[in-house]
Amino acid sequence: MDNEKIHPTVLEISEGFETYFKNFKELTKLAPHFFKERDWNGMQLNHRKRLRLYKDQVRSTREKVSEYLGETVADFDFWHESKTKYSEIISKRKDKELAETFFNSVIRKTYPGLAINDELMFVHEGFNACEIYPVEGLFYSYPAEWDLKTIIEKILEDFDFGVPYLNKKEDVQFLVRSIKEVILTRYNSTEDTTTQVLKSVFYRNKAAYLIGRTRVGNKWMPFVIPFIHSKAGVAVDTLIFNPNLMSGLFSFTRSYFMVETYIPSQLVSFLNSVIIQKKIHELYNSIGFNKHGKTEFYRDFLNHLDQSDDQFVVAEGVKGMVMTVFTLPSYNIVFKMIKDYFDPPKTMTRQEVKNKYKMVGLHDRVGRMADTHEFEEFHLPLERIHPDLMVELRNTVNSLIEINNNELIIKHVYIERRMIPLNIYLETCTHEEAKVAVEEYGNSILQLAQANIFPGDMMTKNFGVTRQKRVIFYDYDEIEFMTDMNFRWKPKPDNYEQIYASSPWYDIAPNDVFPEDFKRFMIGRPDVKEHFFEYHKDLFVPEYWQKIQKRILDGEFIHAFPYPEKIRFRPYVKI
């Protein structure tokens, strides 16, 4: 194509995307180095740097485009033609679905007041329109004629992390034994049996993961092999066959993987055959393309709207003081809008709440905080809004909504996965389920603390229970960094006036926290309250929180394993 005949705006967007994806790949390529050097802080900084890339590049491109266009920035015909020209430019790209999303992002930030528009944007294209590329070069294959031990040895040989193994011979024994116990007790190996392992290693936090599948019993059996790198060397940490655990590795509550890919749709297609519980948009999110994941989510949402007829309603649970939350019962998400006015004692501003959500987006979520997509100018069919919800929206977020023809226009909204609020779950679950849930509740708080997040408001209504019965924190308006808090005991009173004072007689700073007070509000269900207090007794001791603070301040990056400690081959090995 003759670039001289293409408007500079279109070329600028194309070059902006090229710059973004080039930088994305360069930062991703650094992950093996950080793993090899055990540079965990470097890994985290690199992750945050990659998270900022997209927004920074869109901003830079928008500024150049706006300068080119001047007063014609809202020329409908120009943008309609630009979309056509841009589509021609990217038609041969193997990452064109990402390039389409980049175009959408630029025009949304450039064209004043633009909502989703099929004529100006790539609304229905994406993954389903991608060319299907051969996948043979995507993975290593290990044939049926090899015995199990040989296959395992070859896998470990193919994935050389550049440092000595802790005990490779023992790793082989662990893996062989696990495969025999889990697979070969149920299926027999045949001449059709083959094993495939993705060549790209998935890095996150202090671990590296191999993703593979074995053809056995006339079906594909997926598996994940996590590796850790301790001071004594690299080691296989476990072998995961459980679909729920594999799904948890790619959870919406975890940070994105660092994994090299040159054809994103090809990698997503393979993952879709392995992590079958996940939707396409969730898989794009998990490998770091969260903006395109947002686009794919929106396409899935539009398809669901076309195929359903239920109404949007106020979400179940205790109404929040900061957010108005609603949902579509037939679709597993919630919509969260920042209220116009906050109920006492909340005193923050709308911008402060937005800043908390940005903080979560850049932080390691350690499997305990929900990922969020932020939308502006989000349109919903007015006929699908329940009258009770409309009353609630008018009363709480009126400044954020407009009605235009047959649509409700939402100026700003966060969208998250829907969960059962923990307080509601505890009202209806069995005694044994409640015991597990309150243990998970405490684990969630402590793992967030180890990731330098103090939840602030730790009432059970601010936590949700996932399909896998994990407890997740989702109310971010009061979160703070652990290292900014002052955990202390309450002073002991010296006289009757202090004992019976109607308000605290001692000074309390804004960042003071008294863990002994947690018992007053954490668990209301009587039959599991004492179990929780005993199981998580450290929660109520300031010194315990102070020890976590010290580890963080000393530069330690505390790893949260995304699978049970009991399945680790060497639980005594620290990283």
Do 143 and 96 fall within a single domain?
Answer: no
**In degrees to the nearest 10, what's the CA dihedral of 498, 501, 505, 509?**
140
Work out the average pLDDT over 408-414. 96
The pLDDT tens digits for 531-562 are: 999 999 999 999 999 999 999 999 999 988 99
Question: Is 575 part of a structural domain of the chain?
Answer: no
pLDDT at residue 277, as a whole number: 87
Q: Is 39 among the catalytic positions?
A: no
Q: pLDDT grade, residue 3 (50/70/90)? A: low
Do 438 and 545 fall within a single domain?
Answer: yes
Do 154 and 244 fall within a single domain?
Answer: yes
- Cβ-based neighbours of 485, under 8 Å, separated by 6 or more: 454, 511, 512, 513, 545, 549
User: Which of 364, 371, 475, 477 does the annotation list as catalytic?
Assistant: 371
Do 24 and 113 fall within a single domain?
Answer: yes
Percent of the chain topping pLDDT 90: 79
Question: Is 208 part of a structural domain of the chain?
Answer: yes
**Lowest model confidence (mean pLDDT) among 111-115, 226-230, 390-394, 474-478:** 111-115
The residue ranking higher by pLDDT, 48 or 1, is 48
**Residue 528: domain span:** 421-567
Q: pLDDT grade, residue 461 (50/70/90)? A: very high
Do 408 and 432 fall within a single domain?
Answer: no
**Rounded distance between C-alpha atoms, residue 538 and residue 516, angstroms:** 10
pLDDT at 390 over 90: yes
* Mean model confidence pLDDT for the chain: 93
Work out the average pLDDT over 82-98. 94
Instruction: Compute how many other C-beta atoms are within 10 angstroms of the C-beta atom of residue 512.
Output: 13
Do 145 and 287 fall within a single domain?
Answer: yes
pLDDT at residue 135, as a whole number: 73
**Rounded distance between C-alpha atoms, residue 96 and residue 129, angstroms:** 10
pLDDT at residue 4, as a whole number: 55
Q: Which of 456, 454, 460 is nearest to 440 (CA)?
A: 460
pLDDT at residue 258, as a whole number: 97
**Rounded distance between C-alpha atoms, residue 148 and residue 194, angstroms:** 11
Question: Is 130 part of a structural domain of the chain?
Answer: no
pLDDT at residue 545, as a whole number: 97
Q: pLDDT grade, residue 73 (50/70/90)? A: very high
pLDDT at 337 over 80: yes
Peptide bond into 571 cis (omega under 30): no
Locate tokens 């015991």: which residue? 435
pLDDT at residue 165, as a whole number: 95
Do 108 and 231 fall within a single domain?
Answer: no
Question: Is 169 part of a structural domain of the chain?
Answer: yes
Question: Is 572 part of a structural domain of the chain?
Answer: no
Number of domains in the chain: 4
Task: Kindly calculate the radius of gyration of the chain based on its CA atoms and give it in whole angstroms.
Answer: 26
Q: Which of 67-71, 112-116, 459-463 has the highest mean pLDDT?
A: 459-463
Q: Beta strand pairing status for 486-487 and 512-513?
A: parallel
**Rounded distance between C-alpha atoms, residue 366 and residue 446, angstroms:** 11
In the chain, the N- to C-terminal Cα span, in Å, equals 53
Question: Is 68 part of a structural domain of the chain?
Answer: yes
Do 396 and 444 fall within a single domain?
Answer: no
**Rounded distance between C-alpha atoms, residue 492 and residue 445, angstroms:** 27
The pLDDT tens digits for 424-451 are: 999 999 999 999 999 999 999 999 999 9
Do 330 and 468 fall within a single domain?
Answer: no
Question: Is 407 part of a structural domain of the chain?
Answer: yes
